[in-house]
Structure 1
Amino acid sequence: MYIPEHFAETRPDVMHRVIREHPLGVLVTHGPDGLDANHLPFEIDPDQGPHGLLSAHVARANPVWQRCPTGTPVMVVFRGAQAYISPNWYPSKHEAHRQVPTWNYEVVHAHGLLTIRDDERFVRGIVARLTRRHEAAEPQPWKMTDSPPDFIDSMLRNIVGIEISITSLVGKIKLSQNKEARDRLGAAEALDVRGSRELAASMRAAE
């Protein structure tokens, strides 16, 4: 990934935040049949290992867990807030007309080693954690115990767990840091009006 110095993100807490807030990652693997990408919701434990531990599950019918055995190097791409930026949003554009369109975004690449966890206890745990997290805002959060035990057991038998021990994190946070403060803040205000409040807030906090 090309990363100009002013867009480089090296703070682990910021990169972990992007992963937590945007957990649907793209698992990129390279097996006998070439490159493959799977879109999976991940949990991250930032305290496991030097860079954290990712956990997820795949369908048993998905060949990725057989093509890429334990120890396979992989990469997971997490994309955070993103939006198109019009040059019309920069105050300086209306003075000198020397601005062009761009795209602002947050992205983290997590490189690591894959571990296959084909055991019922692990998959039950990851499903329970994902459910608790993503159902938390519901008036009546769904729980696995809402369904008959034999139904849940049959569903769990159809998935396989995976873990990724992160060996390195590469972050790129492009928030118009290379622009004048008035231009960056002008673009943030325009994004707010258009509903991209998360990216707007990040741009206001950028230096």
Structure 2
Amino acid sequence: MEKLPPSIDGSIQRLLDEGYALYRRGHYLVAPVPYLDAAGDPHTGLMVDVLNLDENGNVRTLPTNHQMFFVGGQPYDDKGRILFGGRDVNATPLFDGKVSSFYWSWKPHDANGSNRDYRTLHEKFTEYIFYVSGPAEAKYPNFKVTPFAAIAQSSQECPFPFEDMNSARANLGELDKLLAGDTIAIIGVGGT
């Protein structure tokens, strides 16, 4: 696993301090999340978000967008109703052979009930995680989204001599592994 980047507003550290298990894969921030299937049985999925990094490799305060990848089966609530209406099915290759199951669009509401953007990465993760994990935690109290055991970080580095901030946006993160250890030259001849 790769080292978690610092966040300008402390969102990542706050999530860790609150007991969320987080890890980084390329330019994705990943959190294991409990959820219920149609039969009400517990499972663990992954919430995955693209990190919004600045030129110094710090996570910016504002998330890239209001959407979130989910790897896992269709989550249900404790009454057997499909969460997120079963919409936004998605099959985007992410990392380590993982492919997204859904790409959800969920915005919080302001005091007037209108949609607004997320203010921090912490707010975005906790909103999505609470919605999906709430029914599982209510039915299975020992099945926690905050296990108070952050996944250990390793020193795996990006194969590039610079922080690659575009692979995740183009879903090319798996190519990093193919390039690791190779010497590559890109020669431009002008134009596009």
TM-score range, shorter chain: under 0.3
- Name the structure where helix makes up a greater proportion of residues: 1
Q: TM-score if structure 2 supplies the norm length?
A: 0.28
Between structure 1 and structure 2, the one with the greater Rg is 1
The structure with more strand, counted as a fraction of residues = 1
For normalisation by structure 1, the TM-score amounts to: 0.26
